[in-house]
Structure formats: structure tokens, C-alpha cells
Structure 1
Amino acid sequence: MTRYGAAHKQATRERIVSTAARRLKSDGVAGSGVATLMADAGLTNGAFYAHFASKEALVATVVEAELATQCRTLADLAPGRAGVEDLVRRYLSPTHRDHPEAGCPSAALVEDVVRAGAEVREAYTSQVVAVGEVLAGLVGDAGPDARARLLAAFAGMVGTLQLARAVTDRRLSDALLAHGAEQALAAFAGPAVGAPTSDGTRPGPTGDDLPGSRP
């Protein structure tokens, strides 16, 4: 009988998590059975429990891994307004709307997280807190409420993307993305994002800042 080492087992586990992430974000937790998730990874259903104690354990691992990846992506953005505009344009874009399997875990899975057990919710909480901290660094906001404020702004983008995905009217969906981008840029505005004008207001986005101006 062939015996595999720890490196092989770890690589297999990572493959399960990676393929499960795409399926879960596309079909949701309820629509993704263990057999389907394992088939996506090219493995038999019986191999599942060699890597995870339960489906919830896999979902928790996927949520944690996906948000950790999102944190690293956000951390790579340029600090200040340029990075915020890059984030908003890419997030509220037709491409992101049309490909949930490759996109934000919150937009695809937050309803599943709300209904999940403690293991999944705790994994989500720990990582979404990290997202808030990275966003605070991106905009240069070290205030006591920065994390909550910026997560609320991020939640606005999540909701806009979900609504744009839900409606069947393509023109309405595109308009939701465009207007959502304006609202998101205003919500993210902070000391490092846009300096106040002489009347105390902050400059709003231009047409070049809206989805579709670049990939």
C-alpha cells in the first residue's frame, strides 16, 4: 500500500481548500456537498475525513484562507487615495460581479457565515478584523474607531456587489456598481485619501474613477 508523507498530505489539503473556495463562493455552502467538493479536488468522497473533521471545519478553513488572501491583496495596494481608488474600481466592477467564484469571500459567503456554527463565525471574525486593520493602514487612519468605520464602508461595497449580482436588469446592475463606487470613495475618505478643499469638503470621484475605466 502506498504511504504518503506529510508534505503530500499538506498539498492535498491545500488543493481541497482551494477548489472548495471556488465552489462555495459560486454555489454557496448549502449547494456544495462534500462529494462535489472532493470531486472538484480530484479525490474520492471517502478521503475527506483524512483532512477535515466535518464540512463545517472545511468551510471555516476556506473562510479563513480566503480572507487571509484578501488581506495580503489589500496590503499590496498603494497607500492613500490611489490604493483606495484601485480597490473600489476593481471591487465594484462588472468582472467581479460576474465571477463570484474568483472574488471576495464576504460578498459570496457572508449569509452562509451568519447561519453557520461558532467555528465558521469565529474564523470569519478573526480575519475580517484583520481586513479592517489593513484598510486602516491603507487610508492612513489610526483613530480609535477606524477599523469599525472602514469595515462599515467595506460592507457597503459588499452589499452593493450582492445587489448588482441579484438583479436581472443589466443596466440597473451596471448603474448600481457605478453609483456604489461613488459612495464607497466618499465613505473611505480619510486624512490620507483626499485633502479637504477650502470649503471643508473632500473631492469626489471623477468619471475616470468609476468601474470600467480599467480592468
Structure 2
Amino acid sequence: MSITQEDLNAKVAEIKQKVDVDPEKFLISTVNLTDADCALMGKLIQLYCFADLNARRIIDALRDASMGPEKRNASLLQDAQVFPKLRETIAEVLPDGNDKEGIIKAADTIEMHRIHRHTFAHWAARRVPGEEALILYTKNAREAERRDGKPLGTNYLKYAIVSLLTFDEEIKKLAGHGDYIAQRAAEYERNIELIRKTLAERR
């Protein structure tokens, strides 16, 4: 039987209810991550970082081709700005077609994992006993507010729950879209002058 998003939401809500009864007691009950958990988290972080790198390559290649090399600026973007800027650049430079649609679809899917990439990299992760789920904690006020806009009280932890029930599927999607972005980045960098010429002819 396939697991639906409603199933995942229900499981997370069930765990949250247990946490909120006694947060300190729940924290004590958590267990160490397995090697597989660490590998999964590390894989997601690296897949996202590679996608971020290649999104910046596409942005610079297309800005170079359309406006000149002095307009390369992807290295100055903050993490949260990269995929919105990629979509903006694609919309402005590429004609309608498979590339444009494919990159926008890939960017949307990859960007959905940005919060996981950041949380996995900066928060303390523990395994929820008896569940295929992780709970991640922070006592860093800036990190806590960054996640949901709510300030962290001085005596509190902020937590996030991640169900692992379908996470392998998410990793496969992320890897596939990341590979597509990498292929387009390599293609555009190889063909900047050709793209420049094509754009000039369209004007």
C-alpha cells in the first residue's frame, strides 16, 4: 500500500503530540542516529549543494550570453535567492520549450528541499524511538526564528520532525532533478557564444 502525504502528515502530528506532552522527557527518550540515517542526511545535503552550484552556473552562463560577462553575479546570491533567481533568469532568457519547462520544474522540486538541507546541516538530529522518523533540535535563537519566524524563548528548544517513510523516494527525485540541472549547466557554459548569437538574432 502506498503512503500518501496525508499519512505522513498524520504520523508527524502523532509524534508532535507526544513531544508536546513533555518535551524534556521526549528528548531523553530519543536515540542515536543509525549509520544509514547519517548517510541519508549527508546525501541530501550534498545533492542540494551540487544542485545549488549548477543553478549558479546556469545563471551566470545565461546572464553572460544575454547581457555580457560583467553581469555574472551568481556568486553573490544568498542560498535562499539562488533558485528564485534561476527561474527569473530562465524566464527572461530562454524561449518557451523543453529546457525552460524542465529547468523550472527541477528548480521547484529542488528548492522544496532547501529547508531539509539547512536543518540537516545545522540542527542536532536524533531518531524517534520506534518510528521511521527523525527529530531535529536547535537552541540557536537565530536558527529557530529563521525556520518559522517565531522567536525562541530562553528556556526552550525548537524542534522539527522529519518522517523517513518515503524519504528514499524524495532523494531519488532530488538526484534526478540535480542531474538534469548539471547537464544544462554544462551545455550552457560550453555554448555561451552560440547562445549570445541566437539571442542577438531574436532581438
Q: Same fold (TM over 0.5)?
A: no
Please state which structure has a larger fraction of its residues in strand.
2
Q: Report the TM range for the smaller structure's normalisation.
A: under 0.3
Structure scoring higher RCO (CA < 8 A, sep ≥ 6) equals 2
TM (norm. structure 1) is 0.25
* Structure label with greater radius of gyration: 2
